[in-house]
Structure 1
Amino acid sequence: MSIVLKVEDLDVFYGTSQILFGVGFQVERGETVALLGRNGAGKSTTMKAIAGLAPPRRGRVELRGHDVAGRKPHIIARLGLGFVPEDRQIFPEHSVEDNLSIGHKKGPEGQDDWSIARVYEVFPLLAPLRHRMAGRLSGGEQQMLAIARTLMGNPTAILLDEPSEGLAPIVVQRIGAFLRELRTTGATVLIAEQNMHFCLGLASRVIVIDKGQIVYAASIAELKANEDVRQRYLAL
């Protein structure tokens, strides 16, 4: 397998406050990896640093072999990164289908695998909502739309920041099924979550972050067997 995303020795500051300390990990093609940690551990900052929204003071971010650390977000997006932020950022006054159309572009190597028809085929829950204004969707429907719109850009790697945040348990289950279906397409995905149980059936590997540092990295099976790590870093 080839490495799609590689992060090395990342230091990120907000003003004079250091948030990330030497963060490093990699994601291989076709993997779904979970970046787990409590609220405030540094998950969102890591995602923003990769996406160009919180430029690192030190370290390296490689996307498909390109060093993108500190580059502008639109440049990183053109190189194949799709980012679904925590607040989703859909266009509320546009229909579901308009949101999908706005997101459509070819991938960095001319890929055009995702079309509106394929989104509706892979994620049929969106099809009956195609003419509804996005601002009138439920939180879970908006999350699905945000992910689907990102896919319309034919990204090489997808970052999902807290996709289960603020959603009812039944809706979280639906989003999980949506992401399991996405995994079958061969997508490369990094999910930042504090909800460990949401990720157990989605990810193949986990990376645990605490106080801005990577403290544990292992398979899902190893995390399940390590009660000490779960209690120390992930118990709410």
Structure 2
Amino acid sequence: MSAQPVVQVQDLDVYYGTSQILFGVGLSVRQGETMALLGRNGAGKSTTMKAIMGLAPARRGTVTLQGRVVSGLKPHHIARAGLGFVPEDRQIFPEHTVEDNLVIGTKKGPNGEDEWPIRRIYDVFPLLEPLRHRIAGRLSGGEQQMLAIARTLMGNPALLLLDEPSEGLAPIIVQRIGELLRQLRGTGATVLIAEQNMHFCLGLASHATVIDKGQIVYTSGIEELKANENIRQRYLAL
């Protein structure tokens, strides 16, 4: 019997002013999956993530988190319900230390559980531990990205949303972030990654959904996407 979706997105329409950006978007992510939401620049990836998080209100459609409809709630209420969002600009606290950033993000799970104590964070993100007393604004871009992901995990989210985690990073740092996300997948975390960089996701996602011009055009396991050259060339080739 398949696991129930942690998040179920159905028929989302999103507008910016009078311009429609998303057209009936639907996707689901099940417990323990790492889903890659792939598409070219401007395809609607970030808008989908913001709509799930309540930052881009939908005119139509629903977002259900662990069986509870959260669409229409304020973003901070959606966060409390179990969504952890790492935006493209990371939004760390640059004037605080690495460890202060982590502690600020601490929140117990809905049943009082603490899946991500700081010791476990340092085990999964070992590069952060020797930096724990460093001011976050002095970190490199890759270190800040690791910190943003780790801080969000400290909130014990049911689902982790990552918006373009490889954007603007050097290739060697992208590789390192990918290794960390593969390790994160091994912990059983449930993750939705919005990415333009298909190759970054192929080695770490379990499933993929492709968006183009604001519409979902393809969903499959990651191995099926690897084998589908037509989809890759039509919607993902740069």
Match of 2:61 in 1: 59
Match of 1:20 in 2: 22
1:11: how far off?
0.3
Report 1:33-182 matches (<5 A): 33-182=35-184
1:136: how far off?
0.4
Count of aligned positions: 236
The CA deviation string for residues 23-81 of structure 1, in whole angstroms up to 9 with x for no partner, is 00110000000000001000000000000100100001000011011210010011100
1:121: how far off?
1.4
**Counterpart-to-counterpart distance in 2, 1:91 and 1:166:** 19
* Partner SS for 2:58: coil
Match of 2:219 in 1: 217
**Counterpart-to-counterpart distance in 1, 2:189 and 2:14:** 27
Q: Please say which of residues 112-121 and 129-138 is displaced more in the overlay.
A: 112-121
1:134: how far off?
0.4
> Are 1:187 and 2:198 counterparts?
no
* Partner SS for 2:95: coil
**Counterpart-to-counterpart distance in 2, 1:220 and 1:155:** 24
Question: What letter is aligned with 1:38?
Answer: R
**Counterpart-to-counterpart distance in 1, 2:210 and 2:115:** 32
**Counterpart-to-counterpart distance in 1, 2:129 and 2:173:** 17
Structure 1: give runs of 5+ residues left out of the alignment: none
1:227: how far off?
1.1
1:225: how far off?
1.3
1:7: how far off?
0.3
Question: What letter is aligned with 1:58?
Answer: R
Match of 1:234 in 2: 236
Question: What letter is aligned with 2:20?
Answer: Q
Structure 2: give runs of 5+ residues left out of the alignment: none
1:123: how far off?
1.3
Question: What letter is aligned with 2:208?
Answer: V
* Partner SS for 2:61: strand
Match of 1:207 in 2: 209
* Partner SS for 2:128: helix
**Counterpart-to-counterpart distance in 1, 2:119 and 2:224:** 39
The CA deviation string for residues 121-143 of structure 1, in whole angstroms up to 9 with x for no partner, is 12111111000000000000000
* Partner SS for 2:116: coil
Report the TM-score when normalising by structure 1: 0.99
RMSD, matched Cα: 0.7
Question: What letter is aligned with 1:11?
Answer: D
1:2: how far off?
2.1
Question: What letter is aligned with 1:211?
Answer: K
**Counterpart-to-counterpart distance in 1, 2:113 and 2:5:** 18
